Amino acid sequence: MLQTITILLENKPGALLRATGVLAARGYNIETLTVAKTLDPELSRMTITVDVEDRLRGQVVKQMNKLVNVLQATDLTDAPAVIREMVLLRVRCTQESRQAVLKEAEIFHSRVIDSSTEGFAIEATGDPEKLDEFIDVMRSYGDIEVVRSGGVAMSLETKKLRLQPPVQAAVIPQAS
Amino acid sequence: MQAPEANPTTATNKRAETGKLMSGAEMLLECLAREGVDVFFGYPGGVTIPFYDALYDHHIKHILVRHEENACFAAEGYARATGKVGVCCATSGPGATNLVTGLVDAMMDSIPLVAITGQVHSKLIGSDAFQEADTFGITRPATKHNFMVKTLAELPQIVHEAFYIAASGRPGPVLVDIPKDVFQARGHYTPVDTIHLPGYKVFTEGHTGQIRRAAQLIWEAERPMVYAGGGIIAANASAELTEFVELADSPAVTTLMGLGALSASHPNYISMPGMHGSYAANMAMTECDLLIALGTRFDDRVTGSLNTFARHARVIHVDIDPAEVGKNRNPDIPIVGDVKRVLQKLNRVVQELAPEFSGKHAEARARWFTKVRGWMAERPYDRPHAENEIKPQHLMDEIDRLSGGQAIVCSDVGQHQMWAAQLIRFNEPRLWINSGGLGAMGFGIPSAMGAQLARPDKLVFAICGDGGFQMAIPELATIATHALPVKIICMNNGVLGMVRQWQTLFYNNRLSAVDLQCFPDAEKLAGAYGFKGRTIDKPWQLAEALQEAINDPGPYLLNVMVTPDENVYPMVPAGGAIFEMVFAPETPVAV
């Protein structure tokens, strides 16, 4: 099963590489990754889904939490959370099947964003499994082209975020 | 250069107008001085010329090494000998890439280090400019944290952050990459008062409830065992450890990184555990019913096969790094905190509980000590001495005798390192300096330079093999320049001994690429640098030659020809159980 990790980190150059580097250094391939700044523009929220072996799942999150730029990394795999993804899809279909395609789009609560004689461009959001089905269905009507965003996840629990307080600069450590 | 852009987010700039006008290079030196830096190690190059120009007028001492890697190792030696942050400096491109081995070494052994690297002019970054390398990218996984300075305004803040990160929590190396134009830019300098790193978590106190439960377990144990690591030394917690070992009435081992954390002459001290640890240490780790791991990380060289490691034991694990707790062994009682603070509290609680428990397991404890001391007597480390050739163990014995547990010993990596760790006693922390986690050959001599500069009062040995010595030969010039009275002891067996040992034991004695054949004449080599050197190959010369080296006021190179085919024992084959040690074929039974 894929592990879903959500990371709150400083919006600084290299911060993304540090977080993902924890996975790359251990040879794990990232399945999806989304990142954007938060309400506080100095911070970013990142969602990663990755296939990490069970034994090491705790370890990678701990290693991420150790990073100076990371305020909080949390494993959402088994936690109460919602995960949503967006798909942009173009489907080429015959004149005869246009109605059927529109009907299917409606069933998946997706939105047609462009229409041409060739077919439609559709935007859909939902949980990743649902979107897999949506893509399968659309494929049955003709050639498709798909762009997926990767999941964004939000915890449904409030987790206390403790920011570290400022400290005094240039305090020389004393050896005993 | 233009004045730096104002950055409204840093407090520094609000008062910037009032500060003294100076260059980035001068500001950097000002910040280093505020951090208490008295000496640093480096090698200049194109983009750091502005920095070295400012250094020309500054009181901070700079040691010009002969290779940047050795600047890093020397800074580590300084840091390991003092506990202060070591500082090294290199230019962009090749200078920075040469630091990488030292950075990883400091990372693996949790050594506080700040590395300053020059970078090409910020307008040229990304253009494949002369001597450009992506230092920030290359050193990201090699450091605890790294910074690229983009404007002069952020320079002082970043330098102080770097020192704070390097020294606090689990110490480690921090690199600051500074473009040439930032060194040259001029601006108003106002000292930075506070650092704010909202995401940088340092756990110090330890959970009170867990500490109480740990104390309970300690009293309930019949066969407790203290397993102390380099964390004790990093936390300056030797006094607390000694008190704890006595209060808990437990035998103790210290790891390769922890040698000296508990005095080798302490009655409860056994020795080092692990791949080349003693029989007693490994048996005691195996048979204990409570393992108290303090500032240590269950390294594979200590635990051998994890499934069989301390399999009867409940485990208390104290470490400042939450990622180490539960990484290799799930503890029954995890305590995340500074081992010094945790031990202070734990010692108090253990004492509080004394009236309730004292004497309860006295008999079992006495039996346990008897058993442990029995193992110690049964199979001590091999100390073969021969009549006509120098056994490497004989060499270490003599160094041990002359040191009396007091000298600083900087070791390189290989067989000599293991023999030195086994046979030389350390009665204080910060005397044993070695590349433990990374095992970087060439470490011994440059780290001894750093240690000797930090502790001019101390007798400093650099023990290396003929392989590691030849990796570090360029630094003989640095040692000579500063007349550092380092006693370089080259244990010369003509081969890369540890690799040869594995080839002998596990690869059918097919000795591939381990013969070092050519070795320079020690007397001529040292003489060429202007100090004394000598080669000996007879056991009766050993004591006298070492004494001569020590009596010499300057550097000294003693090349000791030893038995070429000696192996380090005991040995736990990689991945094996630590109680299944291989011993020397003709080990004399209990001396």
pLDDT tens by residue, B379-438: 999 999 999 999 999 999 999 999 999 999 999 999 999 999 999 999 999 999 999 999
Asked whether residue B221 falls in the same domain as residue B149, the answer is no
Please state the rounded mean pLDDT for residues A21-25: 95
Q: Residue B17 and residue B189: Cα distance in Å, rounded?
A: 8
Q: What is the pTM of this model?
A: 0.94
pLDDT at A1: 82
Closest chain A residue by Cα to residue B148: A13
> B311 CB near a chain A CB, below 8 Å?
no
d(CA B443, CA B464) in angstroms, rounded, equals: 9
Best probe of the A interface among B164, B306, B325, B428, by most A CBs < 10 A, is B164
| Sheet architecture: strand order including B408-411 | B432-434, B408-411, B460-465, B487-492, B556-561, B532-536
Determine, for residues B85 and A14 on separate chains, whether the beta-carbon distance falls below 8 Å.
no
Name the band, by pLDDT with cuts 50, 70 and 90, for residue A176: very low
User: What does the alpha-carbon distance between residue B515 and residue B241 come to, in Å, rounded to a whole number?
Assistant: 43
A176/B239 Cβ within 8 A? yes
Q: Specify burial of residue A73 (Cβ count, 10 A radius: 0-12, 13-18, 19+).
A: buried
The whole-number pLDDT of residue B17 equals: 57
Same topology for domains A3-79 and A82-153, yes or no?
A: yes
Task: Decide: A49 and A2 in contact? Cβ < 8 Å.
Answer: yes
Query: What is the distance between the alpha carbons of residues A2 and B386, in angstroms, rounded to a whole number?
Result: 62
B418 plus B293 within the same structural domain: no
Based on the fold, state whether residues B244 and B139 are members of the same structural domain: no
3-state percent breakdown (helix, strand, coil) of chain B, nearest 5: 40, 20, 40
In this complex, how many residue pairs, one in chain A and one in chain B, have their CB atoms less than 8 Å apart?
95
The CATH classification number of A3-79 equals: 3.30.70.260
**Tens-place pLDDT, residues A103-158:** 999 999 999 999 999 999 999 999 999 999 999 999 999 999 999 999 999 999 88
| Enclosing domain of residue B154 | 11-189
What's the CATH code of the domain at B268? 3.40.50.1220
Two tokens at B45? 């190059």
Residues in B closer than 8 angstroms to A176, CB to CB, are 83, 236, 238-239
CB-closest option in A18, A169, A170 to B140:
A18
Q: What is the pLDDT of residue B361?
A: 87
Q: Report CA A5 to chain centroid distance, whole Å.
A: 9
Each residue's pLDDT, cut to its tens digit, for chain B (591 residues) gives 344 444 444 444 444 457 899 999 999 999 999 999 999 999 999 999 999 999 999 999 999 999 999 999 999 999 999 999 999 999 999 999 999 999 999 999 999 999 999 999 999 999 999 999 999 999 999 999 999 999 999 999 999 999 999 999 999 999 999 999 999 999 999 999 999 999 999 999 999 999 999 999 999 999 999 999 999 999 999 999 999 999 999 999 999 999 999 999 999 999 999 999 999 999 999 999 999 999 999 999 999 999 999 999 999 999 999 999 999 999 999 999 999 999 999 999 999 999 888 778 889 999 999 999 999 999 999 999 999 999 999 999 999 999 999 999 999 999 999 999 999 999 999 999 999 999 999 999 999 999 999 999 999 999 999 999 999 999 999 999 999 999 999 999 999 999 999 999 999 999 999 999 999 999 999 999 999 999 999 999 999 999 999 999 999 999 999 999 999 999 999 999 999 999 998 755 444
Q: Output the six-digit token pair for A16.
A: 């993304």
| Residue B84 backbone dihedrals phi, psi, to 5 degrees | -80, 165
Residue type at B158? I
Contact A164 B200 (CB under 8 A): yes
d(CA B126, CA B576): 48
Q: Looking at the annotation, which residues of B are catalytic? A: 68, 130-131, 180, 498
If asked whether residues B181 and B91 sit together in one domain, one would say yes
Q: What's the confidence (pLDDT) of residue B11?
A: 45
Length of chain B: 591
* In a domain? residue B6: no
* Chain A hits for B165, Cβ within 8 Å: 68
Picking from A9, A10, A62, the nearest residue to B322 by CB comes out as: A62
- Residue from B314, B382, B375, B307 nearest B576 by CA: B307
Tokens of A139: 């494929």
Q: Which of A66, A162, A168 to mutate to test the interface with B (most CBs of B within 10 A)?
A: A66
State whether B163 and A62 contact (CB < 8 Å): no
Predicted pLDDT of residue B2 = 44
Q: Which residues of B touch A173 (CB under 8 A)?
A: 83-85, 112, 167
* Each residue's pLDDT tens digit, B321-350: 999 999 999 999 999 999 999 999 999 999
Q: Residue A85 in contact with residue A128, Cβ under 8 Å?
A: yes
B223 within domain boundaries: yes
Instruction: Using an 8 Å CB-CB cutoff, list chain B residues near A70.
Output: 199
Identify whether the C-beta of residue A49 lies closer than 8 Å to the C-beta of residue A31.
Answer: yes
A71 interaction partners in chain B (CB closer than 8 Å): 198-199
Asked whether the beta carbons of residue A21 and residue B141 sit closer than 8 angstroms, the reply is yes
**What is the rounded (10 degree) CA torsion for A25, B167, B235, B39?**
120
Min Cα distance B175 → chain A (Å) is 13
Rounded distance, CA B534 to CA B554, Å?
14
- Judge whether B589 lies within some domain: no
- Single-letter residue type at B357: F
Same domain assignment for residues B126 and B246? no
The DSSP 8-state label assigned to residue B381 in this structure reads: P
Nearest CA in chain A to B171: A173
Three-state secondary structure along B395-424?
HHHHHHHHHCCCCEEEECCCHHHHHHHHHC
Give the integer Cα–Cα distance in Å for B396 and B378: 21
The reply to whether B458 touches chain A by the CB within 8 Å rule is: no
Chain A touched by B148 (CB under 8 Å) = yes
Q: Which residues on chain B are in Cβ contact (under 8 Å) with A72?
A: 199
Half-sphere exposure of B398 (CA within 13 A, CB side): 24
Strands (E), chain A: 3-10, 30-37, 43-50, 70-75, 81-92, 111-115, 119-126, 144-148, 152-155, 167-168
In a domain, B480, yes or no: yes
Does residue A160 carry a pLDDT above 90?
A: no
Say yes or no: B258 and B226 in one domain.
yes
Min CA distance, A67 vs chain B (Å)? 7
Q: Is residue B574 part of a domain?
A: no
The CATH architecture that domain A82-153 belongs to is 2-Layer Sandwich (3.30)
Domain ranges of chain A: 3-79, 82-153
Q: Which residues neighbour A59 within 8 Å (Cβ) at sequence distance 6 or greater? A: B323, B327
pLDDT of residue B591: 42
Q: Is B314 on the interface with A (CB under 8 A)?
A: no
How does DSSP assign A37-57, residue by residue? Answer: E-SSTTEEEEEEEE---HHHH
- B458 contacts B408 by C-beta, under 8 angstroms: yes
Cβ–Cβ contact B455 with A under 8 A: no
Q: How far is B233 from chain A (nearest CA, A)?
A: 10
Distance CA A27, CA A21 (A): 10
User: Residue B232 falls within a domain, yes or no?
Assistant: yes
B229 and B361: one domain? yes
Residue reference for tokens 């008897």: B370
Residues β-bridged to residue A126: A85
| CATH code for the domain of B519 | 3.40.50.970
Q: What is the pLDDT of residue A170?
A: 83
Name the more confident of A161 and B429. Answer: B429
Is it true that the peptide bond before B570 is cis, omega within 30 degrees of 0? yes
Mean pLDDT of chain A: 93
User: What average pLDDT score do residues A44-68 get?
Assistant: 95
Q: Residues B399, B317: one domain? A: no
Do B234 and B124 lie in one domain? The reply is no
In this structure, which amino acid lies at residue B339? V
| Sign for the pseudo-dihedral over CA of B59, B61, B64, B67 | negative
B315 shares its domain with B442:
no
pLDDT score recorded for residue A172:
65
Q: What pLDDT shows up at residue B359?
A: 79
Query: Which residue has 């395609």 as its token pair?
Result: A101
Query: Does the beta-carbon distance from A62 to B194 stay under 8 Å?
Result: no
DSSP state of B552: S
Tell me, yes or no, whether B201 lies in a domain.
no
- The CA-CA-CA angle for residues B305, B504, B421, to 5°, reads 60
The per-residue pLDDT for B358 is: 77
The string of DSSP codes covering B112-165 is -EEEEEEE--TTTTTS--TT---HHHHTGGGSSEEEE--SGGGHHHHHHHHHHH
Q: How far apart are CA B451 and CA B82, in angstroms?
A: 8
Across the interface, do A164 and B193 touch by the CB < 8 Å criterion? no
Same-domain status, B155 and B269: no
Give the DSSP letter of residue B424: S
Q: Could you tell me where the beta strands, DSSP code E, fall in B13-125?
A: 20-23, 39-42, 61-64, 86-90, 113-119
Element (H, E) at B175: strand B173-179
B158 lies in the same domain as B283: no
CA distance B565 to B495: 9
Which tokens hold the place of B304?
């051998």
Which residues are paired to A32 by β-bridges?
Answer: A49
**Exposure string (b/e) for B290-322, b if CB count within 10 Å is 16 or more?**
bbbbbbbbbbebbbbbeeebbeebbbbbbbbbb
Give the list of residues 6+ apart from residue B352 with CB closer than 8 angstroms, or none: B215
Contact B85 A173 (CB under 8 A): yes
Provide the shortest C-alpha distance from residue A36 to chain B (in Å). 18
Q: CB-based contact (8 Å) between B321 and chain A?
A: yes
Please give, rounded to a whole number of angstroms, the shortest distance from the CA of A172 to a CA of chain B.
6
Amino acid making up residue B218: I
Out of A14, A59, A70, the one facing B140 most closely (by C-beta) is A14
The torsion defined by the Cα of A89, A94, A95 and A96, in degrees rounded to 10, comes to -110
Number of domains within chain B = 3
| Residue in chain B lying closest to A25 (CA) | B141
Q: In terms of DSSP bridges, do strands B487-492 and B556-561 run parallel, antiparallel, or are they unpaired?
A: parallel
